[in-house]
Amino acid sequence: MQKKACLYIRNHVILAILLLISLCSVAQESKVESKAYSRMLNTLLKHSVNEVSVTEAAQAKDVIFIDSREKQEYEVSHIQDAKWVGYDDFNMNRLKEVPKDRKIIVYCSVGARSENISLKLEEAGYKDVSNLYGGIFEWVNQGYPVYNTEGQTNKVHPYNMLWGVWLNKGEKSKEK
């Protein structure tokens, strides 16, 4: 339990530093959000799995989207027909009906959690797994739709206040 708390604090400190660095560079850039977001992602991600851009993902055929966020995030909105697998309580059994040779694109808010889940899928024998670079935030920022049980929505779960700064379009859900 203490190890989990230390990791939680460490991750938030790293996030705060990344956010500060990115915000400090804002005044010097003409396309602030995309450059700052890209810098943050390049620092945060390990780039240990295949990555796919939002444009490539949106154009992909016969693909299964896997949502690796927490259930409450998924319920606010998700990419259409995405299968939820979770992160903290990730369970490979949620994918037992997904053939190991199908094209899979895993996403979360920005790509960090989905990168870890992508590695787990590869280790389990899935052959064609990619991480959505920039996550659902970039998906929405580029104007692609998200859905909930009632249909298309503008709401997106911001994960928390710090991460939510990267969501420039859509409506940040106040649900926790």
SS3 164: helix
Q: Same structural domain for residues 68 and 35? A: no
**Residue-level pLDDT at 7:** 59
Q: What is the pLDDT of residue 175?
A: 67
37 and 76 together in one domain: no
List active site positions. Answer: 108
**Same domain assignment for residues 55 and 38:** no
Based on the domain organization, do 64 and 134 belong to the same domain? yes
What pLDDT band is residue 174 in, cutting at 50, 70 and 90?
Answer: confident
Burial bucket for residue 73 (CB in 10 Å: 0-12, 13-18, 19+): buried
If asked whether residues 18 and 103 sit together in one domain, one would say no
Which three-class secondary structure state does DSSP give residue 107? Answer: strand
Question: Whole-model pTM?
Answer: 0.81
Whose CA is closest to 110, among 82, 134, 140?
134
Q: What pLDDT shows up at residue 72?
A: 96
Q: Give the total number of structural domains in the chain.
A: 2
Measured in whole angstroms, how far is the alpha carbon of residue 69 from the centre of its chain? 7
